[in-house]
Amino acid sequence: MNCSLINKTFNYQLFLFRPPLTSLRLGTTLCCCLALSVRRIRSQASCCCVSAPRSYSSSHSGTFMEVVKAVSRQGSAAPDSIAIRADQQSYSYIQIISSAVKISNLLNNSDIKTPCEARKDENPSLSIDGMGKQRLLGGARIGIVAKPSAEFVAGILGTWFSGGVAVPLALSYPEAELLHVMNDSDISMVLSTNDHRELLQEVASKCAAQFSIIPPVPSTSSLKNAHDHSHPGEIDELGILSGSIENSNNFFFPSQSAGQDPALIIYTSGTTGKPKGVVHTHRSITAQVQTLTEAWEYTSADQFLHSLPLHHVHGLFNALLAPLYAGSTVEFMPKFSVRGIWQRWRESYPVDGTRAEDAITVFTGVPTMYTRLIQGYEAMDPELQVASASAARELRLMMCGSSALPLPVMQQWETITGHRLLERYGMTEFVMSISNPLKAMRKPGTVGKPFPGVQVKILTEDENGDNTDGVGELCVKSPSLFKEYWKLPEVTKESFIDGGFFKTGDAGRVDEDGYYVILGRTSADIMKVGGYKLSALEIESAILEHPVVAECCVLGLPDKDYGEAVCAIIVPKADAKVKQEEDLKPAISLEELCSWAKEKLAPYKLPTRLYLWDSLPRNAMGKVNKKELKKVLAAKQ
């Protein structure tokens, strides 16, 4: 690689600019043990340049509907154990599974034309339910559109229970996007709750899907009054508790390889292109929930505070399916609220040193959530700060991911709460694959090491065949790898290299301790400036240390001399914004920023363009769509 030093003439630009919110796909507000049958993970020799020490046993016993079975077993073993808390109500495991069975009946009794029946029409000799068994959906897609709630969970489990493929969709999607995803995945039925009936009935009819309301899940308090308690025996009759559902006489299963059947389609965030439907199987889901439960020691004693969207893997797997698999309690706080979260932690661990019965033990969030929580903490009076910090300290585990955790945020959080955030790396296509350890050293600026059974390769040659000093595209092979992109066989094929490794599109390297460092999306975070390949994430992390900077986004804009120019967009802190208005002077100039940053960044990494904005356009996962932003800014140049 040609690494000649660039002699730059800075083209200083400063804009006070409010981003054109409507032109981007946004959601400025962040809408945000009794470990059951944790299967052992066995060793396997490594076979590629960088690989994991151990491999998941492909012969582990259960791969079909393990989450459903685990929920049932938990309900059976501990009938009073709480699976979900939402809207001040509690819902037991037994009640969730009992509602899932009701939903399954509802789906099976609907006149959804299953994919098998469609095939039967073409070939009438195929008998689907000729054996008198209950008819299953045979892979029909069921859209689940509900706020985070017991009904949402029962909807997912009920869909699986009836042989359907769950497609969790966001209520926050504009109608056009909902329609795109529903049409793309050929949804047969939309399940929702009464509060969204009107909107979703209309959307469902537009894409020729049926619509049904998820029957309200009775809460534990309503059960006490109504004596409407489901008993483990009722559910066991269906063969779930005994784990024999595949062989159950009650149901017809279309194939012997049910574990390989699609179970879930999740649409990617669209950070790098149009959202694609990622198909996960029962097998890949099982592998992932087992891995997470084991690695992070989720148990039935854990209580999760959940404030993430459920149509992305972080909120769905890390904070819901794996906890349910482990028998934990998940408490939904559907709208991320800084005040609400601090308060919930304080209620969990009051200043008198006691601990509430429903005390939160685990929290997982995206970096922007922690930034906001730090801002909320700084705005508290000293007494409240002491109570908040000491309560947060009591949680067992705090985790972060979905985008890069900037070092200053990690350090500030550790100073306030004593928690070194456990940062991990994941993606819709394989859920989580690399993680800092629960007990050993969590290394700042890294995402840790591959989970047992996960193999990671780094393609260290660039397009010209030159070695890139250990930096390259991460490729992942994992038992939790997706099956395919929905209806995109060519894209699926192109996403894999020999040996079944999935090309992530992320650039990274391994440090001297074997920990992985993520440098960002090759298509959006890696800038080519002169002869250099620069990581926007590294520059963002450095700029965030500046005292007036609250948030920052770095991207490359087209530049006729250097190919790309480093552009920084900064959101100043609240007090700097006030001062900016009083002094009629920008909170920070490009000269000031560069003169401060030259101690931290090499000269060729310093920004040459600066924008000051009131906020950054972030999606539901707190991510900035840099591809879109680049287009908007490039057009303005």
Ligand X SMILES: Nc1ncnc2c1ncn2[C@@H]1O[C@H](COP(=O)(O)OP(=O)(O)OP(=O)(O)O)[C@@H](O)[C@H]1O
Name the residues that contact ligand X, by CB under 6 A: 268-273, 275, 312, 401-404, 423, 425-428, 447, 504, 506, 518, 521, 623
CB of 346 to ligand X, least distance (A): 28
**273 or 603: CB nearest ligand X:** 273
Structure-block tokens of residue 462: 């660039």
d(CA 434, CA 516): 8
CB of 552 to ligand X, least distance (A): 15
d(CA 215, CA 192): 9
Q: Which residues contact 354 (CB under 8 A, 6 or more apart)?
A: none
First-residue to last-residue Cα distance in the chain:
29
Work out whether the CA dihedral 574, 579, 582, 586 comes out positive or negative: negative
CB of 2 to ligand X, least distance (A): 27
**368 or 504: CB nearest ligand X:** 504
CB of 331 to ligand X, least distance (A): 24
CB of 506 to ligand X, least distance (A): 5
**283 or 424: CB nearest ligand X:** 424
Q: Residue 539 burial (CB < 10 Å; 0-12/13-18/19+)?
A: buried
Let me know: does 567 contact 607? Beta carbons within 8 Å: yes
State the number of CA atoms in the 13 A half-sphere of 30 facing the CB: 23
d(CA 376, CA 342): 8
d(CA 515, CA 332): 33
Let me know: does 289 contact 66? Beta carbons within 8 Å: yes
DSSP assignment string, 328-377: -EEEE-SS--HHHHHHHHHHHS-TTS---TT---EEEE-HHHHHHHHHHH
**63 or 271: CB nearest ligand X:** 271
CB of 310 to ligand X, least distance (A): 13
Structure-block tokens of residue 17: 């600019």
**241 or 432: CB nearest ligand X:** 432
**240 or 278: CB nearest ligand X:** 278
Beta strand pairing call for 82-86 and 526-529: unpaired
How many H helices and E strands in the chain? Answer: 20, 29
**312 or 396: CB nearest ligand X:** 312
**99 or 541: CB nearest ligand X:** 541
CB of 496 to ligand X, least distance (A): 15
CB of 492 to ligand X, least distance (A): 14
CB of 482 to ligand X, least distance (A): 10
**74 or 535: CB nearest ligand X:** 535
CB of 376 to ligand X, least distance (A): 23
Structure-block tokens of residue 593: 């920023």
CB of 540 to ligand X, least distance (A): 11
Q: 102: helix, coil or strand?
A: helix
Q: How many residues does the chain have?
A: 637
Q: Residue 99 burial (CB < 10 Å; 0-12/13-18/19+)?
A: buried
CB of 66 to ligand X, least distance (A): 23
d(CA 208, CA 194): 20
Our measurement of the distance from residue 271's CA atom to the centroid of its chain's CA atoms, rounded to an integer in Å, reads 13
d(CA 421, CA 436): 9
CB of 484 to ligand X, least distance (A): 15
**20 or 273: CB nearest ligand X:** 273
SS (H, E, C) 495-564: CEECCCEEEEEEEEEECCCCCEEEEEECCCCEEEECCEEEEHHHHHHHHCCCCCEEEEEEEEEEECCCEE
d(CA 241, CA 237): 8
Beta strand pairing call for 455-459 and 210-213: unpaired
**402 or 608: CB nearest ligand X:** 402
d(CA 278, CA 487): 10
CB of 401 to ligand X, least distance (A): 4
Helix 407-417 vs helix 382-393: crossing angle, to nearest 10:
100
Q: Would you give the DSSP letter of residue 256?
A: S
**Residue that the structure tokens 């699926």 belong to:** 492
**243 or 270: CB nearest ligand X:** 270
**112 or 405: CB nearest ligand X:** 405
**344 or 626: CB nearest ligand X:** 626
Beta strand pairing call for 303-306 and 329-332: parallel
**291 or 403: CB nearest ligand X:** 403
d(CA 34, CA 57): 22
CB of 269 to ligand X, least distance (A): 3
